[in-house]
Structure 1
Amino acid sequence: MITIQKKLIIVLALISLLAAWILTTPSNAEDAEVIEAEAMEEVAPAKTMEKTPAKPKVESAKDETKTSISEARLADKAAKVLELQKSEVSTKRIPQNVRNAARCIVVFPSIIKAGLIVAGKTGQGLVSCRHSTSNNWGAPSYVSLNAASIGLQAGIQKASVILVLLNRDAVDELIDPEVKLGAGVEITAGPVGGSANLEIAPSVLSYARTKGLFAGLDLEGAKIGVSKEQNMQVYGEKITAKEILFTKDKIPTRFDSFMSALGELAPIPAN
């Protein structure tokens, strides 16, 4: 017969075996959790790498849309400047004989006094020139105005600018990045009202609208540069400013408002 002492020994042995089994089971579960976590870490980077290439495409499309909208607004703003000039009273208007004689017209809807901006860049604008045979206004080119100083009156920080170019040579010199207004290109504040003596007029006449009034503007020392990237985005090809101004036949629709206002301000002169 099994004594009580032996029974106790057997029970204690069984309890020990059961305890050992219970202790080993959680350890296996923890190992499973670690393996699962490591597997998830390996999968996560793969998912991230799959999503990454798509982001630049979306951002690029947004940037292109913003650029397109900005360029269209520039044309509309330039048109507004021309419309305001045409609506001026006769004593504040660019003389009719100056508008008739214009070979090219440059419009900067908004220039900022150079002390307020970086590197002297003061504004973006458009230039359009008459075709030599028809006298019709041709496709516009994007340009920028760079200046160490702008001759605005004290207290005035912004202005809209119109430049009237009276001969073809002025155009060639104007878009030369090495030429400064007043140095390589003769420029002066333009007259308003009545008529101007064009026999003694310089190559370029400048006008500015500040606080609701148009007046002459001192831009001596400023440089006008061609905005090549904007031209390429609009015309879709590598093309020079001269090719746009004098050989481009088709005018993009985004310039409709600008071309219409330009034709109203300076129509084809009557023979």
Structure 2
Amino acid sequence: MRKFIQTLCTTAALTMSITVAASAATDIQKLDDRIAAAHTVLHELMDTPDKGIPTDIAAKATCVAVVPSFKKGAFIVGAQYGQGVVTCRTGHGWSAPAFIQLTGASFGLQAGGQATDLVLIGTTRDAFQRLLHDKVKLGGDASVAAGPVGRSTSASTTEVASAAFLTYSRNKGIFAGVDLTGDVVHQNTDDTMAYYGSDVTYEKILSGHVPVKPSSAHFVRTVNQLFHASGAHAAGAH
């Protein structure tokens, strides 16, 4: 009887261990899929140069966040929620990605729902520092404006020129500026720890002190291609 109980306990422990390992592998796969989706969004952005992010904005970008399939659902009170990734410019290229959440709410008589891809561009050193905090309220903690599209920003407004974050959404394959005032960007610490380990901080990742993992190398490489800059810009963003 004792031997039977010991065997049963051993089997249960082994089963639990396998289940935990399988669950962890599933979580990592979901994160890899999220990075791949963000990579796809950027590639599609690269394919629309005349309607994409202006080159002068791309050159001074300090951080780039991508939220694939940002969901908006509403019935009287609207809710917005999305999961994405962010990378920041360092003195030696772009950092490994960290994971974020974007949440918000809107009020009014409305119904229905939709999903869109979002891109947030940090354009100042302050934008970089804000992303190292627990959460950032767009339009509150950091100024935000709908981003312009095209090859240059020669006709941009003062609001665009002074914004810490510029925001874009995709609709039917075309990117355009979008108003995300009031939305909140959170660190997704659970996903970040699952991907890198519990001892890796946001600051360490976004400052460029964490190696880029193979599963996110294509994303970082595409960011580097799309948001290239002169040495002066890169050094100023470090």
TM-score bucket of the superposed structures, by smaller chain: 0.7 to 0.9
Residue 121 of structure 1 deviates from its aligned partner by: 6.3
Against the structure 1 CA distance between its residues 102 and 89, is the aligned structure 2 distance closer, same or farther, given a 3 Å change threshold?
closer
Are 2:203 and 1:246 equivalent residues in the alignment? no
Residue 237 of structure 1 deviates from its aligned partner by: 3.8
Rounded Cα–Cα distance in structure 2 between residues aligned with 1:198 and 1:103? 20
Aligned residue in 1 for 2:67: 108
Rounded Cα–Cα distance in structure 1 between residues aligned with 2:163 and 2:219? 26
TM-score, length of structure 2 as denominator length: 0.83
Secondary structure of the 2:162 match is coil
Rounded Cα–Cα distance in structure 1 between residues aligned with 2:47 and 2:34? 20
Is contact 2:82-2:101 (8 Å) kept?
yes
Aligned residue in 1 for 2:187: 226
Against the structure 1 CA distance between its residues 138 and 198, is the aligned structure 2 distance closer, same or farther, given a 3 Å change threshold?
farther
Secondary structure of the 1:251 match is coil
Rounded Cα–Cα distance in structure 2 between residues aligned with 1:167 and 1:228? 24
Secondary structure of the 2:68 match is strand
Residue 77 of structure 1 deviates from its aligned partner by: 0.8
More helix by share: 1
Residue 43 of structure 1 deviates from its aligned partner by: 8.8
Aligned residue in 1 for 2:146: 189
Aligned residue in 2 for 1:162: 119
1:209-268 per-residue CA deviation (whole Å, 9 max, x = no partner) reads 122111111211111111112222222242221121114152111111101211121123
More strand by share: 2
Against the structure 1 CA distance between its residues 215 and 144, is the aligned structure 2 distance closer, same or farther, given a 3 Å change threshold?
same
Against the structure 1 CA distance between its residues 262 and 154, is the aligned structure 2 distance closer, same or farther, given a 3 Å change threshold?
farther
Aligned residue in 1 for 2:89: 130
Rounded Cα–Cα distance in structure 2 between residues aligned with 1:97 and 1:43? 73
Is contact 1:82-1:261 (8 Å) kept?
yes
Aligned residue in 2 for 1:6: none
Match of 1:208, as an amino acid?
S
- Aligned pair count? 224
Aligned residue in 1 for 2:97: 140
Is contact 1:113-1:149 (8 Å) kept?
no
Rounded Cα–Cα distance in structure 2 between residues aligned with 1:227 and 1:263? 23
Aligned residue in 1 for 2:58: 99
Against the structure 1 CA distance between its residues 96 and 154, is the aligned structure 2 distance closer, same or farther, given a 3 Å change threshold?
farther
Is contact 1:114-1:147 (8 Å) kept?
no
Match of 1:61, as an amino acid?
A
Rounded Cα–Cα distance in structure 1 between residues aligned with 2:169 and 2:52? 11
> Which of 216, 225, 228 pairs up with 1:264?
225
Unpaired stretches in structure 2, ≥5 consecutive residues: 233-238
Match of 2:193, as an amino acid?
M
Aligned residue in 2 for 1:87: 47
Is contact 1:158-1:210 (8 Å) kept?
no
Against the structure 1 CA distance between its residues 114 and 238, is the aligned structure 2 distance closer, same or farther, given a 3 Å change threshold?
farther
Rounded Cα–Cα distance in structure 1 between residues aligned with 2:19 and 2:79? 29
TM-score, length of structure 1 as denominator length: 0.73
Rg: which structure is higher?
Answer: 1
Against the structure 1 CA distance between its residues 120 and 176, is the aligned structure 2 distance closer, same or farther, given a 3 Å change threshold?
farther
1:130-172 per-residue CA deviation (whole Å, 9 max, x = no partner) reads 11x34x111211111121249xx98660000100101121122
Give aligned-pair identity as a percent. 28
Is contact 2:94-2:208 (8 Å) kept?
no
Is contact 2:87-2:95 (8 Å) kept?
yes
Secondary structure of the 1:67 match is helix
Match of 1:129, as an amino acid?
C
- State the superposition RMSD in angstroms: 2.8
Residue 270 of structure 1 deviates from its aligned partner by: 6.4
> Which of 107, 125, 133 pairs up with 1:176?
133
Q: Say which structure, 1 or 2, has more relative contact order (CA 8 Å, 6+ apart).
A: 2
Rounded Cα–Cα distance in structure 2 between residues aligned with 1:120 and 1:172? 27
